[in-house]
Chain A
Amino acid sequence: MGKYIVKRVGMGLLSIFVVATLTFFLMNMVPGGPFVAEKSISKAAQEALASKYGLDKPIMERYFTYITDFLKGDMGYSLRQRGRTVSDIIFSKFPVSAGLAGIAVAVALCVGIPLGCLSAYHRGKFGDRFIIVLATCGIAIPSFISSVVLLYTFGSKLNLLPTIGLNSFKAYIMPVTALAIYPSAYITRLMRSSLLDVMGQDYIRTAKAKGLAGFRVMFKHALRNAILPVVTYVGPMLAGLMTGSFIVEKIFTIPGLGREFVSSITNRDYTMIMGTTIILATLIIVANVVVDILYKVIDPRINLK
């Protein structure tokens, strides 16, 4: 067990390092720099700014400085939002995105698991078919389409919900719905197929032979084992929500990390690109590693090598 954890964590660290290195060299391939777009600055001033932030040094040297600084916990100053450190910006924007993603995860689980159970319980009947059709459609609709359609119907036509920001409870409804549709549909399908799989096992037949009611068998015996695939999906789901939120944050004008990431790339704000990429990648990788380890802890049948 210990060996497995060490191996997974090591692999995760290696991935973060690969992402950081790739990002660093890729973003430096983009022509133009953070100060080129500002016409008000003279050429001399631009050069002075570049040397102040160390941008005039050779790329390998900058790479090693960045990595050593990062390991000391210093992510540097933002090149475009003068006077603010990258970690400062990230920590002020992160709670917004995390809150949104967290609520969406909760909603997806609360919708997906019961629907999946219901569908498996009524297998082959009308209810099952209906849920399957819904879930299949939910998987096919990209998040930007559902957000825009929501925005159009509830925001501007019916005028029921606010279309910008996250200032009230009501404002959360549309972004969370847009984010949660895909994972809810996915969990429904996952839950249904895994539950049907478990229902064919011998111990379920034993439980039924004891005379337990079908409902009780499903919730007491089957659900516990069937929920495992859903647990493993939580990691990728978080990753999907983080990236899905780029779009949703853009459409609903939410000041979150995703928007910051996209705009930092268009602005060539090198330190911000590095900071947001590493933080987002770390979050996703950590979620995946934790889920992988949890999975093996929950299910003793999976042998650890």
Chain B
Amino acid sequence: MNNRLPGLHLKAEDFIPATAEEKESLVIMRDSVNFWRDGLRRLKKNRVAMVSLFFILLIMIFAYVLPSFWPYTYDQQIRTSENLSPFTYGEAELARIEAGEKVFPHICGTDKLGRDFAVRLMMGARISLTVGLVCAAIVLVIGALFGAIAGFAGGWVDNIMMRFTDIIYTIPDILLIIIMAMSLKPALEQLVTHKGFLWLQKLGPNMIAIFLVFALIYWVGMARITRSQVLILKESEYVTAARALGAGSARIIRKHLLTNCIGTLTVTTTLQIPSAIFTESYLSFLGIGVQVPMPSLGSLATDAVKGMNTYPYLLLFPAILISVIILVFNLFGDGLRDAFDPKLKD
């Protein structure tokens, strides 16, 4: 008889189990592109951002790794080697070379106290980077939490919290920073002599004052950005779903809202780093930055201003280094924003 039903065109072989080959062709070859992978792919294509990232890593090695291998330390004063220009040696060192010893060259010269300037630059970069990173972290924690709570709570809580940030926003920051740095310094100097606070001594009171100021003033921008993101996100279905499953507010903020604005948070935090370095070098230049003999790039530049006609390289090196650090962080932050900020997606 007829083994085909009219009109249906069914064949017997259609019902044979699929071979391994056929199954293979149906498996999705590529993993689905998630947020991070998508962003990273775009970041990798951005040549400027990748070069900046390379420089950031280079500067990090220069600041955090190299000083431990360097034959000089940042506060070591070498007699008769004061005010050397790059690649020259002092009297005592020349005598040692005569005697057949090997003396490591002063690549960037020495300062007026006979300290190797290259290692001081590294320490300076270390201080500046640390200030930048710690301040950005402080701003991120305070700003993101404050903004997320305000946005999530809504209503009068949001209103009061946002009016509070409005007031802080209008306060001229540099004025307050200078007054605070000056007035907190003696109080902190007393604090570090007490037991239990000795670890603070290593940082120096000025540095803590800078951190405090950032914690008090600079988080406002971050809070505003986070709040606006949370306002949008909290209306989404997965938040309703989480709520329906019985999740509390704290869990929703932590697990759903903050993780979903992580792109924006990363970008804003990265761009905060150069601005903190900028502020620190500015304060150091006014003489209220980190403690001597600790160098920061700003204080190295200040010290060099007095002798700049005779020893211009002492000014040039820290000046270039600050500018390069701020430049690469800015460029990298811009690249991150292009890659991760969905609003700017083409």
- Show the binding face of A for B, using Cβ within 8 Å: 11-12, 14-15, 18-19, 22-23, 26-27, 29-31, 136-137, 139-142, 144-145, 148-149, 151-152, 156, 239, 242-243, 246-247, 250-251, 261-262, 265-266, 273, 277, 280-281, 284-285, 288
Contact = CB atoms under 8 A, between A and B. Distances in A.
Contacts of B308: 148, 151-152, 156
Q: How large is the interface on B (under 10, 10 to 19, 20 to 34, 35 or more residues)?
A: 35 or more
Contact of A239 (B172, B285, B326): B172
Nearest to A278: B175
Interface in B117-173: 163, 166-167, 170-172
A148 B309 contact: no
Given A18-B167, A145-B301, A30 B175 contact: no
A148 B307 CA distance: 12
Given A30-B183, A152-B315, A140 B323 contact: yes
B324 to A, nearest CB: 8
10 cross-chain pairs, A with B, having the tightest CB-CB distances, nearest first:
A140-B327, A243-B174, A15-B170, A140-B326, A26-B183, A29-B183, A284-B172, A145-B319, A30-B183, A144-B285
Contact of B176 (A19, A136, A141, A251): A19
22 contacts: A11-B167, A15-B170, A22-B171, A23-B179, A26-B180, A30-B182, A30-B183, A31-B186, A137-B323, A140-B327, A140-B330, A141-B323, A142-B278, A142-B322, A148-B315, A149-B319, A152-B308, A243-B174, A247-B286, A277-B175, A281-B175, A285-B172
B327 A136 contact: yes
A281 B178 contact: no
A288 to B, nearest CB: 6
Contacts of B274: 140
A139 B322 CA distance: 12
Contacts of B167: 11, 14-15, 18
B187 interface: yes
Nearest to B305: A148
Q: Which of B187, B285, B312 has the most CB of A within 10 A?
A: B285
Nearest to B285: A144
B323 A11 contact: no
A66 B163 CA distance: 27
Contacts of B327: 136-137, 140
B345 to A, nearest CB: 14
Given A23-B179, A142-B281, A243-B175, A136 B331 contact: yes
Contacts of A142: 278, 281-282, 285, 322-323, 326
A12 B170 contact: yes
Contacts of B282: 142, 144, 247
Contacts of B286: 246-247, 250, 262
Given A148-B301, A152-B308, A284-B172, A262 B178 contact: yes
A95 to B, nearest CB: 20
Interface in B316-346: 319, 322-324, 326-327, 330-331
Contact of A22 (B176, B178, B298): B176
A246 B282 CA distance: 10
Interface string B260-284: 0000000000000010001001100
A285 B182 contact: no
A11 B170 contact: yes
